[in-house]
Structure 1
Amino acid sequence: MHILFLTDNFPPEGNAPATRTYEHAREWVKLGHKVTIITGAPNFPEGKVFDGYKNRWYSKSELDGIEVRRVKTYITANEGFAKRILDFMSFMVTSFFAGIFVKKPDVIVGTSPQFFTAVSAWALSAIRFKPFVFELRDIWPASITAVGAMGRSLPIRILEKIEVFLYWRADKIISVTHSFKKELIERGVDGNKIDVVLNGVDLSKYEPAPKKDEGFAEQYDLTDKFVVGYVGTHGLAHSLDKIVEAAELLVDLNDVRILFAGGGAAKAEVEALVKEKGLSNVTLIPRQQKELMPKLWSLCDISLISLKDTELFKTVIPSKIFESMGMGLPMIMTSPIGEATTILTESHSGIIVKPESPEDVARVIRELYQDRTRLDKLATSSAKAAQIYDRKQLAESMLNKMLEIK
């Protein structure tokens, strides 16, 4: 089967959509299928083209047997509604024209979070008479209003109509959470065409680290420190200001460090708050290349996962859960009770804390710092749970769902 896959994020970008798409496509190629990716120049989340790349109208390359075709887009940082929409729409147009020239695809996939990529995939499927698969990674545009970026204005209502159109026209919807499937069914979408393939972790690259990476530890003065790490995109959805407040409550623990690693729309706010409060127990690390992530994770004794106290985020499963499991890290999750918290509870791999509660976060960090036996039990359970979310198995599951409609 020839899979034409449209995504606006792909390696060397290291965010969740890029990682999932690459790791799935790599496994599909190993299983004997052809995969063509259409994407843009890597620039997420800072909106700056990565070294070694240019924002060209068209280029072609290969990565682990995957054919990668990059197209020109309007590039902006991951902030600001109007500019981001221009970014998304530009990729919709250029990816559509690039897709016309891909020879003999059997199925066309468009992935969210934003759905303009899926619009392009649907249009290509319509003119080429091929099945259209919508990989649903987020309920968008509801996530825009959930973080307070916009109210339910006319543009949002228009986007909602496009969203519903895509659900109805898709031959298959691959949802990354059971909650998304449930919501779509409640909105009248045929549940028989919705399958769930959760996110996962590449267990060939992620495993419990026997010690902290010496290079990173020395560079950031984290040798022999007890590190609680927030690793990943610093977005408006993550209430990272509350994590900074929690760090302020832990300044008396001399060898405890709160680590923020990554980039995104809220990165500047975090840096400003840390400077304003004069916190010496907070370590800030910029976004790292994807291949360095296991070494970066090795710095952590606890993985910290944070989401805003918003109804929509009951349905979200942060991908860093699975990387944390791959590394055998215990987790502290400050999030609304929902599908993600259920994963931690059932696997006994972490502790759930009331969202946007710095006092509770600080209290649990203090408790685990003092109770290493409990910490070790959580770590053991976390590593064991990783086997359930092996990316190789999940890639095969998604492939089988697509083969059903070929």
Structure 2
Amino acid sequence: MHVLFLTDNFPPEVNAPASRTFEHCREWVKAGHRVTVITCAPNFPQGRVFEGYHNRLLAREAMDGIEVVRVWSYIAANEGIVRRTLDYVSFMVTATLASLRVRRPDVVIATSPQFFTACAGYLASRLRRAPFIFELRDLWPESIRAVGAMRQSLILDWLEKLELFLYRKAKIIIPVTNAFKRNLVARGIQPAKIHVVTNGADLSLFRPREKDGELAEMLGLTGKFVAGYIGTHGLAHALETLLETTRLLQEEGQDDIHLLFLGNGASKTALRARAVELKLTNVTFLDTVPKADVVRYWSVLDASVIHLRRIDLFTTVIPSKLFECMAMGIPVLHGVPGESAEIVEGGRVGLIFEPENAQQLRDRLITLSRNRQLAKELGANGIEAARKFDRAHLANRMLQLIEGSLLSDVGERQVDDPQKTIGETLI
């Protein structure tokens, strides 16, 4: 089987869509399938092309057996509606055109979070006469409304109509949460075509390891209780709450608790400025590091903070970093209600706090820093719970869904042309 996968994020980018796509495609190649990925030059989230890459009209490379086709796009930082829209639309156009240069795909998959990529996937599937599968990572454009990045408008209304059109045209839809499935069903999408494959962690990379003492010393964190936020610093994450928590701790003289920020995003400059304004000495900001190195930084953490704005939409999401810190055996301080909080509470892998409530986060930090036995138990529970979210198993589950959709498509074609065999259809 030849899978054509469209995504605007792919390694060496290290965000959740890039990691999930790469790890799934890698497993499919191991299973003996051919996989071609169409993506753009790596630039997320700062809008600068990574060293060693160029924003060319078309470039090719191989990555763990995956054929990677990189196309030109208008590159912008992860901020500003107009420039980001130009980024999305340009990739939609060039990715669609590039799909014509890919030899005989059997299926076309496109992933969100922004669905202009899904538009390209649908167009490519029509041009190549292959089934279209929509991997749903975000309810976009609903998330734009939720964070206030764009005012209510006829444009958003039109985008929602386009969103529903794509859902209806997809052979199957693969959302990453059960809440997403419920949302789609409530909006009239057939439940039978929706199959949940959650996010997970690469357990060969994210696993328990000793604290990296050399790194801790280099960062000035030796002897500290280190809580960390690792990931994108975006509008949705409301990381001002974490700074307010550190302000409370500093004023109270809780000098042994330190907060580490690792990553980049639209809010990082403002967060740094706010930390300086508050004269915080218990905060460290670091830029994004390669995926293979991030486990060193996870290892110095005594707790991981996961946080999103207090918005109803975010009760439907499951931040992928949850599975990574579980796999590492790091207790979670979780400020996201809903389906992800159920995982935290059900597996007893961390402590819950209310989103945007700095006082509650402060209380949970003190609890874990003073009760190391509790922190140890939560971490051990996380290691056990993470086994259910092994990326290799999840990739195999998605592969079975893809293969099932192809067999279904073959059956439909045979009804139209009884003389055509399954082998003739798939070759």
**Counterpart AA for 2:111:** T
Query: Which residue number corresponds to residue 179 of structure 1?
Result: 179
Q: 1:40-93: CA deviations, max 9, x gaps? A: 000000000000000000001100000000000000000111111110000000
| 1:279 pairs with 2:280 | yes
Q: 1:338-383: CA deviations, max 9, x gaps? A: 1010110111001110111001100110111111111111111011
| 1:326 pairs with 2:327 | yes
**Counterpart AA for 1:107:** V
- Give the distance between the partners of 2:31 and 2:41, measured in 1 at CA: 27
- Give the distance between the partners of 2:210 and 2:292, measured in 1 at CA: 18
Give the TM-score normalised by the residue count of structure 2.
0.94
8 Å CA contact 1:213–1:298 kept in 2: the answer is: no
- Give the distance between the partners of 1:139 and 1:166, measured in 2 at CA: 12
8 Å CA contact 2:213–2:222 kept in 1: the answer is: no
Query: Which residue number corresponds to residue 60 of structure 1?
Result: 60
Q: 1:297-340: CA deviations, max 9, x gaps? A: 111100000010001001010001011111111000112x2101
Give the TM-score normalised by the residue count of structure 1.
0.98
The CA deviation at 1:96 is 0.4
Query: Which residue number corresponds to residue 240 of structure 2?
Result: 241
The CA deviation at 1:151 is 2.1
**Counterpart AA for 1:219:** M
Query: Which residue number corresponds to residue 302 of structure 2?
Result: 301
Query: Which residue number corresponds to residue 149 of structure 1?
Result: 149
| 1:353 pairs with 2:358 | no
The CA deviation at 1:171 is 0.4
**Counterpart AA for 2:319:** P
- Give the distance between the partners of 2:269 and 2:367, measured in 1 at CA: 30
Identity %: 49
Taking only aligned residues, the RMSD between alpha carbons, in angstroms, comes to 0.8
- Give the distance between the partners of 2:91 and 2:339, measured in 1 at CA: 31
Query: Which residue number corresponds to residue 189 of structure 2?
Result: 189
Structure 1 stretch 58-67 or stretch 244-253: which is displaced more? 244-253
Q: Across the two proteins, how many residue pairs are aligned to each other?
A: 404
8 Å CA contact 1:213–1:295 kept in 2: the answer is: no
Q: Secondary structure at the match of 1:249?
A: helix
Q: Secondary structure at the match of 1:206?
A: coil
Q: Please show how residues 328-347 of structure 1 align to structure 2 within 5 Å.
A: 328-335=329-336, 337-347=337-347
**Which 5+ residue runs of structure 2 have no aligned equivalent?**
407-427
The CA deviation at 1:127 is 1.9
- Give the distance between the partners of 1:377 and 1:35, measured in 2 at CA: 41
Query: Which residue number corresponds to residue 19 of structure 1?
Result: 19
- Give the distance between the partners of 1:254 and 1:314, measured in 2 at CA: 33
- Give the distance between the partners of 2:297 and 2:34, measured in 1 at CA: 33
8 Å CA contact 2:179–2:339 kept in 1: the answer is: yes
- Give the distance between the partners of 1:166 and 1:404, measured in 2 at CA: 20
Q: 1:104 to 1:213 in 2, by over 3 A?
A: farther
Query: Which residue number corresponds to residue 366 of structure 2?
Result: 366
- Give the distance between the partners of 1:224 and 1:55, measured in 2 at CA: 44
- Give the distance between the partners of 2:110 and 2:213, measured in 1 at CA: 37
The CA deviation at 1:120 is 0.7
8 Å CA contact 1:24–1:395 kept in 2: the answer is: yes
Query: Which residue number corresponds to residue 35 of structure 1?
Result: 35
Q: Secondary structure at the match of 2:306?
A: strand
Q: 1:139-159: CA deviations, max 9, x gaps? A: 000101111111221221111
The CA deviation at 1:124 is 1.1
Q: Secondary structure at the match of 1:49?
A: coil
Query: Which residue number corresponds to residue 412 of structure 2?
Result: none
Q: 1:213 to 1:319 in 2, by over 3 A?
A: farther
- Give the distance between the partners of 2:19 and 2:217, measured in 1 at CA: 28
- Give the distance between the partners of 1:293 and 1:90, measured in 2 at CA: 31
Q: 1:249-296: CA deviations, max 9, x gaps? A: 112122211111100011112101111001000011111111111111
- Give the distance between the partners of 1:50 and 1:128, measured in 2 at CA: 31
8 Å CA contact 1:208–1:328 kept in 2: the answer is: yes
**Counterpart AA for 1:298:** S
- Give the distance between the partners of 1:266 and 1:326, measured in 2 at CA: 28
Query: Which residue number corresponds to residue 122 of structure 1?
Result: 122
Query: Which residue number corresponds to residue 223 of structure 2?
Result: 224
Q: Secondary structure at the match of 1:196?
A: coil
8 Å CA contact 1:213–1:299 kept in 2: the answer is: yes
8 Å CA contact 2:104–2:128 kept in 1: the answer is: no
**Counterpart AA for 2:283:** V
- Give the distance between the partners of 1:236 and 1:213, measured in 2 at CA: 33
**Counterpart AA for 1:136:** L
The CA deviation at 1:213 is 5.0
The CA deviation at 1:223 is 2.0
- Give the distance between the partners of 2:374 and 2:74, measured in 1 at CA: 49
The CA deviation at 1:218 is 2.8
- Give the distance between the partners of 2:390 and 2:27, measured in 1 at CA: 12
8 Å CA contact 2:39–2:95 kept in 1: the answer is: yes
Q: Secondary structure at the match of 1:50?
A: coil
**Counterpart AA for 1:44:** F
